[in-house]
Chains A and B, each alone.
Chain A
């Protein structure tokens, strides 16, 4: 709370005329590229992905209107790659709004002109979790699973026996379901439900 108050204070005090050291009325133009321009704190610059916090959930990718954020799976090497391309970005800050962990950080940077296109791209790679059973890579990252573990209440875990199943591939889960089904012959319903639920939970967070 204290921190947010000081931010508001900062906002109130920010004054472009001071920031750009306007003392006289004229001239109003500045020798811009040769001086630094300070943007107000409210300015929506290009976002920046904090690789420490990002869990690779892809919520930002879904929200991004111009496809400036792209998610790729490289199952051979077991990585999930989140790519941000400032050249496509329209600075709408939707990704910042939807990011569950605050990994998408707003900045006030706006000068992205460069002679090297690679400067515009940010890549965050995540290790995919792998199935303990068969060693195949899952669709989710390790961090995602970690995150799910942390936010889901204990009883949900217990209710759906997630602890056992969360790190399994789709095929493995199905296989297990089938086994379970065989075990609980005649009582199809609960096992079926289990599969659906786990899938949904993992996919969203």
Chain B
């Protein structure tokens, strides 16, 4: 019984993780369209786009194997990141030390995006990759620190244990705020979509990609964004609802996670719609400031605040 329930939740998690992300993008498009007084595309438009891309062959400008493999590795990383998260009270793939693995696989998506851009002879790809690198280099230390606060606060490196073991301190509240910022940056939403900026570097690392490979990259990015958001939502909900004993309660929690994720996306979309893209030096500056703020929070956490 126990395993069947577990399997059921894992399956639900996998289905959510595979099918929801493009719909989330569809929601974002609709919300943006409404803010711009447009009608907007149907909710499944992103799926239609992906289906079309998957059905088309890719033009390969280089013989390097990495060019072909990078999107798939990025997709695998994104999927594994999503599988490390709790759905209800079940974590589909559990190694222990999940937090570290999660940090690592999410980073992999960006890294392979960056490497893919460097495989081709294209100034825009290189510029985009260089920007992606700068963003990663400045935001990842911040995220590492914040994860450190979380781990210290709960005394564990396992994601599920962290989420059930957090206790409310001032430093935790600050961590949440900073984490929201850091995850937003890492997701690459406007105004932080600098690496893929269409008007400036024509899609950056993606500029030489087309057809199926481009579709796979997009899919990977959508899943990564979903994983980061799901992670944040889980952090927001799981610690405060008490122990989950019964499958019914777990189902309720899953439903809550799901609803909150869907509800958060319009907020993100609204933020995207009302901002212009920043320049890389602005972002680096902001990230550095946030990093020092993160250090202070870490110090606070150590002092038990």
B63 at the interface (CB under 8 A from A): no
Identify the stretch in B19-27, B30-38, B202-210, B230-238 within 8 Å (CB) of chain A at 4 or more residues. Answer: B30-38
The distance in angstroms between the C-alpha atoms of A57 and B232, with both chains bound, is 78
Interface string of A91-126 (1 = CB under 8 A from B): 000000000000000000000000000000000000
Please give the distance in Å from B58's CB to the nearest CB on chain A: 29
State how many angstroms separate the Cβ of B257 from the closest Cβ of chain A: 32
A142 vs B259: C-alpha distance in the bound complex, in angstroms? 80
- Report how far A30 CA is from B38 CA in the complex, Å: 8
**Which of A21-29, A82-90, A177-185 interfaces with chain B?**
A21-29
Interface residue SS majority, chain B:
loop
The answer to the question of B39 belonging to the interface, with a C-beta cut-off of 8 Å to chain A, is yes
* Chain B neighbourhood of A28, CB < 8 A: 37-38
Chain B residues positioned under 8 Å from A27 (CB to CB)? 33-34, 37-40
Residues of B within 8 A of A26 (CB): 34, 37
Interface assignment of A31: CB less than 8 Å from any CB of chain B:
yes
**Residues on B with beta carbons closer than 8 Å to the beta carbon of A30:** 39
Q: Could you tell me the distance between the alpha carbons of A198 and B5 in the complex, rounded to whole angstroms?
A: 103
A interface SS class = loop
Q: Mark A10-43, 1 if CB is under 8 A from B, else 0.
A: 0000000000000001111111000000000000
- Chain A stretch 117-164: residues in CB contact (< 8 A) with chain B: none
- In the assembled complex, the Cα of A145 lies from the Cα of B86 at a distance in Å of 92
A contact residues around B34 at 8 Å (CB): 26-27
Bound CA span A25–B40, Å: 15
- Nearest residue (CB) in B for A31 is B39
1/0 per position for B30-59, CB-CB distance to A under 8 A? 000110011110000000000000000000
Closest to A25 in B: B37
CB distance from A157 to the nearest CB of B (A): 66
A117 to B172, CA, bound (A): 69
Point out the residues of chain A lying under 8 angstroms from B33, CB to CB. 27
* A29 to B33 alpha-carbon distance, docked (Å): 10
CB distance from A33 to the nearest CB of B (A): 13
A146 to chain B, nearest CB (A): 56
Which residues of chain B are within 8 angstroms of A25 by Cβ–Cβ distance? 37
In the complex, which of the residues B34, B37, B40 has the most CB atoms of chain A within 10 Å of its own CB atom?
B37
B83 CB to nearest A CB, Å:
39
Question: What separation, in Å, do the CA atoms of A25 and B36 have in the docked complex?
Answer: 12
Separation of A27 and B34 alpha carbons in the complex (Å): 7
Q: Which residues of A contact B37 (CB under 8 A)?
A: 25-29
Minimum CB–CB distance from B36 to chain A (whole Å) comes to: 9
**Interchain nearest-CB distance for B30 vs A (Å):** 11
> Separation in Å of the B61 CB from the closest CB of chain A?
33
Residue picked from A25, A27, A31, most chain B C-beta under 10 Å: A27
Of listed B33, B34, B39, B40, residue having the most chain A CB within 10 A? B39
Query: Smallest CB–CB gap between A145 and chain B, Å?
Result: 58
The residue in chain B whose Cβ has the minimal distance to the Cβ of A28 is: B37
Across the two chains, which residue of chain A brings its CB closest to B33?
A27
Q: Chain A residues with Cβ under 8 A from B39's Cβ?
A: 27, 29-31
- Chain A residues with CB below 8 A from B38, complex form: 27-29
CA of A27 to CA of B37 in the docked complex: distance in angstroms?
5
CB distance from B189 to the nearest CB of A (A): 23
Q: How far is the CA of A27 from the CA of B33 in the complex (A)?
A: 9
- Distance of A85 Cα from B173 Cα, bound (Å): 71
In the complex, what residue of chain A is closest to B35 when comparing beta carbons?
Answer: A26
- Give Cα A31 to B38, complex, Å: 10
Alpha-carbon distance A28/B38, docked complex (angstroms): 6
Q: By CB atoms of chain B within 10 A, which of A26, A28, A30 has the most?
A: A26
Given contacts A25-B37, A26-B34, A27-B33, 9 further A-B contacts (CB under 8 A): A26-B37, A27-B34, A27-B37, A27-B38, A27-B39, A28-B38, A29-B38, A30-B39, A31-B39
Q: Which 8 residue pairs across A and B have the least CB separation, nearest first?
A: A26-B37, A27-B39, A29-B38, A29-B39, A28-B37, A27-B38, A27-B37, A31-B39
A–B pairs, 9, beta carbons within 8 Å: A26-B34, A27-B33, A27-B34, A28-B37, A28-B38, A29-B37, A29-B38, A29-B39, A31-B39
